[in-house]
Amino acid sequence: MECTDREGFSDTARRLAADPRNYGPLDDFNGRARITGPCGDTMEFWLSAANGIVARMTFTTDGCGPSRACGSMATSLVEGRRIEDAAALAQGEILEALGGIPPEFEHCALLAANTVKAACEDYRRRSARGAAEPGAARASCDGCARTDCPASGRGEGESDEEFEDRRQLAARLCRIRRKVIVLSGKGGVGKSTVAVNLAAALVLAGKKVGLLDVDIHGPSIPTMLGLEREKILNSEEGIVPVDLGLLKVMSLGFLLPSADDAVIWRGPMKMAVIKQFLKDVAWGDLDYLVVDSPPGTGDEPLSVCQLIGPVDGALIVTTPQKVAAVDVRKSVTFCRRLDVPILGIVENMSGFTCPRCGETTPILRAGGGRRTAEDMGVPFLGSIPMDPQIAEACDDGRTFVARYAASATAKIMRSILDPIAAQHDAEDRTAAARARNDKEDK
């Protein structure tokens, strides 16, 4: 049954869902983009423009009614606009023009807006006739005026090969604004689930995000995103991560011949592949890189923190019982010794919420995460209850916060994860205001 059979859809949304305008590919186009959202729906847009004005835009989607309605409205809104104005199309503008769709489908409008923007960016690239040549990152690194950059000077006794290696790593990382690592003291606490949904929440906030899975022995990110069959390609710019539009994903799981293959490596080999994921992967310009680290405080998290430079924050995941909370204290100590700021502790599997009556039953001993946070003097971000839909979303390769956006548990998860981006946005605004004031004073 179509999603639009339920309450909350305006007449306009229902009409466009059933009979979308501008549906189907364009034969003659000069801009194109295809994005798969964290909900699993894919949209593809074609753009025909002349003299910087959108003459026509069409789309297709494998999503159901809400995706068709949002895509159709987006194409209608941008026709006749300048490319710059079309690229600025916002989620809210699409929703307002539709006149109403249920909140759990509003992410379809964000996906449509993001795909329109990507198609406009593709038009600009085509118009510029590929002005961004291979090696541009090297050129910008050569001309960079920063003196605090890790690549700004040769270290004492450093060979040419070591210096060039460090420059390449710095050139990749300087294009990533924020780096967040997700840790846990022990396995089985849902760390990867939190990492995937953190990345999805950032994408839903309009951020460009990279998700790096450095769990060498148990890479689960490809399964959680439905990417088990994806394979990695190489380009002139480096290794190409799996591209889902605003989300780029890299995992050792993409490199294994079979999901059943075991990775039997010692520490140096682990560090080498993590370094390759950071140095040789063409991440491009990102607002966030979310690193899903394996449990514990061993080679992988240590390698990431040493290679990645300043880490903007660590998110530590635990379950309520004492045996997990005790190990979380080690993760806190690990971060403090490496000068990694702690965003906070998330308590996962905090009781089971009955889908019928809504009552929460504490299956595991409650409150371990909060007590640990209070004892260690770090923020406690909140508790996520057990929910069968979380497991269902992971098994289906869909992100829970997008797939079940209207559920009570998804709202709890968003209330925990959304403030991370909001905090950084506030810091950016404060820094920008301070810079303006300093400029005016001069």
- Cα(131)–Cα(125) distance, integer angstroms: 8
* Residue 404 near residue 107, CB atoms below 8 Å: no
Helix, strand, coil percentages (3-state) for the chain, rounded to 5, are 45, 20, 35
* Residue 151 near residue 171, CB atoms below 8 Å: yes
- Cα(57)–Cα(85) distance, integer angstroms: 14
Helix (H, G, I), strand (E, B) or coil at 134: coil
398 phi, psi to nearest 5 deg: -120, 150
Q: What is the pTM of this model?
A: 0.72
For residue 334, which amino acid is it?
A: F
Please list the pLDDT of the chain residue by residue as tens digits (442 residues): 356 556 789 999 999 999 999 999 998 899 999 888 777 788 999 999 988 899 999 999 998 899 999 999 999 999 999 999 999 999 999 999 999 888 888 889 989 998 999 899 889 888 875 444 333 344 445 545 455 555 555 666 667 677 777 888 888 888 899 999 999 988 889 999 999 999 999 988 888 899 999 988 878 899 999 888 888 888 778 889 998 878 999 998 887 766 666 666 666 787 888 888 888 899 998 999 999 998 888 888 888 888 888 899 999 999 888 777 788 899 999 999 999 999 999 999 888 877 677 677 777 766 788 888 999 999 999 999 888 889 898 888 888 988 888 888 888 999 999 888 888 888 777 877 777 777 677 6
* Residue 216 near residue 252, CB atoms below 8 Å: yes
| Cβ atoms within 10 Å of 191's Cβ, excluding its own | 26
365 phi, psi to nearest 5 deg: -55, 130
List domains and CATH numbers for the chain. Answer: 3-127 (3.90.1010.10), 163-434 (3.40.50.300)
Helices in 144-292 by DSSP H: which ranges? Answer: 160-173, 191-204, 221-224, 267-279
- Cα(365)–Cα(31) distance, integer angstroms: 55
Q: Count Cα neighbours of 3 within 13 Å in the Cβ-side half-sphere.
A: 21
- Cα(40)–Cα(244) distance, integer angstroms: 9
For residue 261, which amino acid is it?
A: D
DSSP 377-422: T--EEEEEEE-HHHHHHHHHT--HHHHTTTSHHHHHHHHHHHHHHH
* Residue 23 near residue 63, CB atoms below 8 Å: no
The tokens for 117 are 């923007």
Buried b (16+ CB within 10 A) or exposed e, 249-264: bbbbbbeeeeeeeebe
- Cα(52)–Cα(29) distance, integer angstroms: 13
Q: Count Cα neighbours of 263 within 13 Å in the Cβ-side half-sphere.
A: 21
Helix (H, G, I), strand (E, B) or coil at 109: helix
355 phi, psi to nearest 5 deg: -70, -15
Helix (H, G, I), strand (E, B) or coil at 353: strand
* Residue 382 near residue 347, CB atoms below 8 Å: yes
Q: Which helix (H) or strand (E) holds 138?
A: helix 136-143
The tokens for 137 are 């990152």
The tokens for 100 are 């109403």
- Cα(373)–Cα(381) distance, integer angstroms: 9
The tokens for 351 are 């009781």
- Cα(6)–Cα(298) distance, integer angstroms: 50
The tokens for 395 are 């098994």
| Cβ atoms within 10 Å of 82's Cβ, excluding its own | 15
